[in-house]
């Protein structure tokens, strides 16, 4: 192994995942940029090991120790690049804390990311997961990113089309993109901003606050207030945010469900399909506030699974499987987890 790499061994990952699940990495390396990745790639002893790229640890569930090398993306730095085609380009390194970055853009007087306030994680993870909330997704404000290819050793730039964004999905979650490690992300924010109030709950909150002409900062603060009211703080209760994706079903399937369950929460999609509210389905199956062992369902939001103290990854998986089985039995709908199981 390369002696000049600051590798750590048998490293605890408990503080590096928001579920706070105890797990250890055989090898651990803080990565600032492409140089460290290139060294790992060229080292025969390291290149052949299983590899896990870690950001804020907010979208993964450890079910075991990791018998490979964890590459922790810790590089920071951000800058406003200037205007292009009516958009303000802003770039940040992969290790930047996402919420802090959003706050920084608002402090620069730039709107566009405010609906994504208070999402845990890092900038580098945002395009991988195509994170979204309150009517905005990463792809809506994305320009490009720089990635290091662990297979070829090349640094490449990917635009939106190459990233193949979909609902909580991108090329990075598929085999052809798994050798790509995000180094930095460039966002295209509107030079002429207007509030995105398509999400009904956010629109109601803005109206109730009497914000007739809200600023980006107003929207950001409103989103933060909603999230703090509904979701647990990972610093206080271990969790990974929304544990399940909102399932998308055909119009016909939705119609059959509505005939039996008239209060079903559903949202029509542009392609004619219907997106169902996973939290509502879980709640209707009686899981809100329930627990299996040390893993439970958050009492204020059924979409969030929590570590009640000392939970193992296996306990969280057992709870998730039980919820999936009940929703499938009652509604004929498959719930897909958002976090990556390690």
**What was the pLDDT predicted at 2?**
53
CA dihedral 121, 127, 133, 139 (to 10 degrees): 160
Say whether 338 is catalytic. Answer: yes
Say whether 168 is catalytic. Answer: yes
User: pLDDT under 50 in the chain at which residues?
Assistant: none
Sheet containing strand 274-276, edge to edge, reads 248-249, 274-276, 266-268
**What was the pLDDT predicted at 58?**
85
The model's pLDDT over 161-185, given as tens digits with 9 standing for 90+, comes to: 999 998 888 999 999 998 999 999 9
Domain parsing of the chain, residue ranges? 8-73, 78-190, 238-341
> Is the domain 238-341 a CATH 3.90.78.10 member?
yes
Say whether 208 is catalytic. Answer: no
Which entry of 114, 168, 274, 315 is annotated as an active-site residue? 168
To the question of pTM greater than 0.95 for the whole model, the response is: no
The model's pLDDT over 115-130, given as tens digits with 9 standing for 90+, comes to: 999 998 999 999 999 9
Which entry of 41, 227, 242, 274 is annotated as an active-site residue? 242
Which entry of 96, 114, 137, 338 is annotated as an active-site residue? 338
**What was the pLDDT predicted at 307?**
94
CATH class of the 78-190 domain in this structure: alpha beta
**What was the pLDDT predicted at 198?**
87
Report the DSSP pairing between strands 8-12 and 60-61: unpaired
**CATH fit for domain 8-73, picks 3.40.50.2000, 3.60.15.10, 3.30.43.10, 3.40.720.10:** 3.30.43.10
**What was the pLDDT predicted at 53?**
92
First to last CA, the chain: 25
**What was the pLDDT predicted at 274?**
86
Q: Are the C-beta atoms of 61 and 317 separated by less than 8 Å?
A: yes
SS3 at position 200: helix
Taking residue 210's Cβ as centre, other Cβ atoms within 10 Å add up to 7
């Amino acid at each position: 192994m390369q002696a000049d790499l600051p590798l750590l061994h048998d490293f605890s990952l408990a503080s590096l995942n928001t579920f706070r699940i105890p797990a250890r990495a055989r090898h651990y390396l803080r990565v600032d940029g492409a140089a460290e990745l290139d060294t790992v790639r060229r080292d025969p002893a390291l290149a052949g090991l299983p590899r896990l790229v870690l950001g804020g640890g907010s979208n993964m569930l450890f079910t075991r120790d990791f018998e490979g090398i964890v590459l922790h993306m810790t590089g920071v730095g951000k800058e406003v690049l200037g205007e292009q085609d009516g958009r303000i380009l802003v770039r940040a390194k992969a290790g930047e804390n996402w919420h802090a970055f959003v706050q920084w853009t608002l402090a620069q007087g730039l709107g566009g990311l405010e609906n994504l306030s208070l999402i845990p994680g890092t900038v580098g993870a945002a395009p991988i997961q195509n994170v979204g909330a309150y009517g905005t997704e990463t792809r809506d404000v994305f320009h490009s990113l720089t990635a290091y290819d662990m297979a070829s050793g090349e640094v490449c730039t990917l635009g939106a089309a190459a990233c193949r964004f979909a609902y909580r999905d991108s090329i990075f979650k598929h085999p052809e993109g798994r050798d790509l490690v995000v180094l930095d992300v460039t966002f295209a924010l509107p030079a002429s901003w207007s509030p995105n109030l398509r999400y009904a709950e956010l629109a109601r909150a803005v109206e109730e606050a009497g914000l007739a002409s809200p600023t980006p900062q107003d929207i950001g603060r409103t989103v933060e207030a909603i999230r703090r009211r509904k979701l647990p703080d990972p610093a206080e209760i271990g969790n990974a945010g929304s544990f399940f994706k909102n399932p998308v079903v055909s119009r016909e399937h939705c119609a059959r469900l509505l005939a039996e369950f008239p209060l079903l929460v559903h949202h029509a999609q542009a392609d004619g399909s219907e997106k169902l509210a996973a939290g509502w389905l879980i709640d209707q199956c009686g899981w809100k506030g329930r627990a299996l062992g040390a893993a439970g369902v958050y009492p204020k939001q059924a979409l969030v699974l929590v570590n009640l103290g000392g939970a193992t990854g296996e306990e969280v998986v057992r709870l998730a499987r039980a919820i999936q089985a009940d929703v499938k039995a009652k509604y004929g709908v498959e719930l897909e987890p958002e976090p990556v199981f390690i």
